[in-house]
Amino acid sequence: MKRAGISAKVTSDEALQAAARVAADLRSRGITVCFDDATGERLGEDAFCYRKPELGDHSDFLITFGGDGTLLSVARHAPDHVPIIGVNMGTLGFLTEIRVEEFDEVLQRVLDGSFTAESRVAFDILVRGPKRDGTTYRVLNDAAINKSALARIVEMRVEVSGLFVSTFRADGLIVATPTGSTAYNLSAGGPIIYPTMNAVVITPICPHMLTNRPLVLPDTFDIEVSIVTQEAEVFLTLDGQEGVEISHEDRVCVRKSPQTVLLVQSPQKNYFDVLRTKLKWGES
Q: What is the pLDDT of residue 277?
A: 86
Q: Please confirm, yes or no, whether 37 is among the known catalytic residues.
A: no
**pLDDT at residue 42, rounded to an integer:** 95
Q: Give the pLDDT band (50/70/90) at residue 47.
A: confident
* Domain with 55 in it: 3-116+265-279
Of 55-69, 88-102, 233-247, the poorest mean pLDDT is in 88-102
- Read off the CATH number of the domain in which 208 is found: 2.60.200.30
Residues 54 and 73 in one domain: yes
Does 200 lie in the same domain as 89? Answer: no
Q: 217 and 158: one domain?
A: yes
- Please check whether residue 169 lies inside any domain of the structure: yes
Query: At 167, is the pLDDT very low, low, confident or very high (cuts 50, 70, 90)?
Result: very high
- Residue 163 domain-assigned (yes or no): yes
Q: Residues 9, 104: one domain?
A: yes
Question: Are 126 and 249 contained in the same domain?
Answer: yes
pLDDT per position as a tens digit, 112-164 = 999 999 999 999 999 999 888 889 999 999 999 998 776 678 999 999 999 99
Q: Do both 91 and 127 map to the same domain?
A: no
Cβ neighbors of 68 (< 8 A, separation 6 or more) are 86, 93, 94, 95, 96, 183
Q: Is residue 243 part of a domain?
A: yes
Element (H, E) at 40: helix 37-43
- Cα–Cα nearest to 264, from 161, 116, 114: 116
One domain, residues 136 and 254: yes
- Beta strand 251-264 pairing with 83-88: parallel
The total domain count for the chain is 2
Same domain for 243 and 133, yes or no, is yes
Whether 127 and 223 map to the same domain: the answer is yes
Say how far apart CA 153 and CA 276 lie, in whole Å. 35
26 within 8 A of 4, measured Cβ to Cβ: yes
284 is a domain residue: no
In a shared domain, residues 127 and 252: yes
Domain assignment present for 158: yes
| Pairing of the two strands 142-147 and 136-139 | unpaired
Query: What does the pLDDT look like over 182-197, one tens digit per residue?
Result: 999 999 999 999 999 9
User: End-to-end CA distance of the chain, in Å?
Assistant: 40
From the candidates 36, 68, 142, 239, give the one annotated as an active-site residue: 68
